[in-house]
Structure 1
Amino acid sequence: MIGNKQVVTIKGTRDGLTLHLDDSCSFDELLKELEDKLSTNYLDEDEPMITVMIQLGNRYLHKEQEEQLRDLIRNKKKLVVQSIHSNVVPKKKALEWKEDSEIKAINRIVRSGQVVEVKGDLLLIGDVNPGGKVVAKGNIFVIGSLLGVAHAGVNGNREAVIVASYMRPSQLRIADYISRSPDYESDGVYMECGLVDETRAKIVIDRLQVLMHKRPDLSGFERRMLNG
């Protein structure tokens, strides 16, 4: 223990125990104090198991350290680790998050038989011809004519939107919703967007101006473009 500072703080909740572990001491010191504190029996033999949630703060554990921590707690009767939370994420995970939130700007025409797919938002400066397809985990913005297939929110994000300067797609898909060309005006529409209307359980085409009210989070689009 560092001076009088508690390295391990144990709090009981309705769901079990929460362990708050100090993130400034050494890992060995942390294990030692945790071993001492958990030596106390929290339940009688006839009582059910207690779930343990671990809060690491700004500490990152390698796999070997995490297993040490889990083993220590598992060896105590009636205790089982439910979850381990840390404010620190591995570099690989952080890069994945960054990639998923990026806006990919592409200047080209997507011709029949071609597919353009990105992990974040797609900003396509050009047309999507009939038979062409654009796919994104996030939103799709087409500065041009959308005449082919557009699939936004492929990972299940129903809040994703599809925007086009000229909207006459053969198919729109947002998450698990699908809408085909007969659902739209035969002559196409200008400066419109497609989004999921949960109350009607379908994709609807609406004026571009509605996005500021129905998808206020899109206000960060310009900021993300400027900041990269």
Structure 2
Amino acid sequence: MQDRKQIITIKGTREGLSIFIEDSSSYKDAIRELEEIIKASKPKKDEPIVSVKVKLGNRYLTEEQENDLRSIISMENRFKIETIESELIRIEDALKWQEDSEIKAINRIVRSGQVLEVKGDLLLIGDVNPGGKVVSTGNIYIMGNLFGIAHAGAEGDPDSFIVASYMKPTQLRIADYISRAPDYESDGVYMECGIIDEEQGKIIIDSLKVLSHKRKEISGFERRMNNG
């Protein structure tokens, strides 16, 4: 007779326990085995509560299933769930990730009084006139003149940057940093980028070539711009 395949694997760590739930088994079987293990290994009342990380592999739990899991690995049983990790994500989360990470290409001029806001990276083919403003949660690439305001990493990403064919902005913002008196010549600069220099604690204007040194992971699009 073949031994039953083990569904639940528990490993001790310095932080507590990691519980691995075999993802090819049925949810019903996994919960049944987990319940048996938790009851058998329940700490005594005078022992500290044990932190638990649950790893689901390629398994997705519904809200009801996750609630079942949390009720078994509970404070009442002297366990506390720190994280539940799955290799799968919901369609809604995947679509949001795609929206946040893709480049939005827009062909227009942002005139005085206008504000252009996008999720993810912005590729603007056109100018930002004085009094105009572009805002992106990611990076900003302007294939034109930047005379107005540009705000990259608007949701707090300090690794974002701003690139423009001709840069003479009224103001640059990256995450919570705001540019002070400009470090570039009053006549403006060509094909430069604005990034946060952590050592100086401010936004600097530097050669586009600096991206490959300051940002270890840049996309193929950025590399093409970098190489002309």
TM-score (norm 1): 0.92
Distance in 2 between residues matched to 1:132 and 1:76, nearest whole Å: 57
What is the CA-CA distance between 1:186 and the residue it aligns to? 1.3
1:77 shift after superposition: 2.5
Is 1:109 paired with 2:109?
yes
Cα distance, 1:106 vs. partner?
0.6
Consecutive aligned runs of 4 or more in structure 1 exceeding 4 Å deviation: 180-183
Listed as ranges, the gaps of 5+ residues in structure 1 are: none
Paired with 2:212 and 2:129, the residues of 1 have a C-alpha distance of: 28
CA positional deviation for 1:116: 0.8
C-alpha distance in structure 2 between counterparts of 1:160 and 1:40, whole Å:
50
Residue type of the partner of 1:214?
K
CA distance in 1, matches of 2:27, 2:3: 16
The letter for the 2-side match of 1:150 is A
Q: Which amino acid aligns with 1:166?
A: Y
- Following superposition, the deviation at residue 218 of structure 1 comes to 2.1
Q: Residue 129 of structure 2 aligns with which residue? A: 129
Q: Give how far 1:180 is off.
A: 4.4
* 1:44 counterpart = 2:44: yes
Distance 1:197 1:7 in 2: 49
Q: CA deviation at 1:29?
A: 0.7
* 1:80 Cα deviation from its structure 2 partner: 1.8
Q: Deviations over 1:32-87 (max 9, x none)?
A: 11111112134232111111111100000000000011112227521122211100
Given that 2:122 and 2:139 are in contact with CA atoms closer than 8 Å, whether structure 1 keeps it comes out as yes
Q: Structure 2: how far apart are the matches of 1:98 and 1:223?
A: 21
1:134-181 deviation digits (Å, cap 9, x = unpaired): 011111111110000000011211111111111000000011110146
Mapped to 1, the partners of 2:17 and 2:133 lie a distance apart of 50
Residue 158 of structure 1 pairs with residue 154 of structure 2: no
Paired positions, count: 223
Which residue of 1 is the match for residue 58 of structure 2? 58
* TM-score, with structure 2 as normaliser: 0.92
Whether 1:149 and 2:149 are equivalent positions in the alignment is yes
1:176 equivalenced with 2:176 (yes/no): yes
The 1:42–1:194 alpha-carbon spacing in structure 2 relative to 1, beyond 3 Å, is same
The residue that corresponds to 1:33 in the other structure is: 33
Cα distance in 2, alignment partners of residues 210 and 77 from structure 1: 54
Does the 8 A contact of 1:170 with 1:180 survive in 2?
no
CA separation of 1:160 and 1:79: change in aligned 2, threshold 3 A: same
Q: Structure 1 residues 223, 61: closer, same or farther in 2, change over 3 A?
A: farther
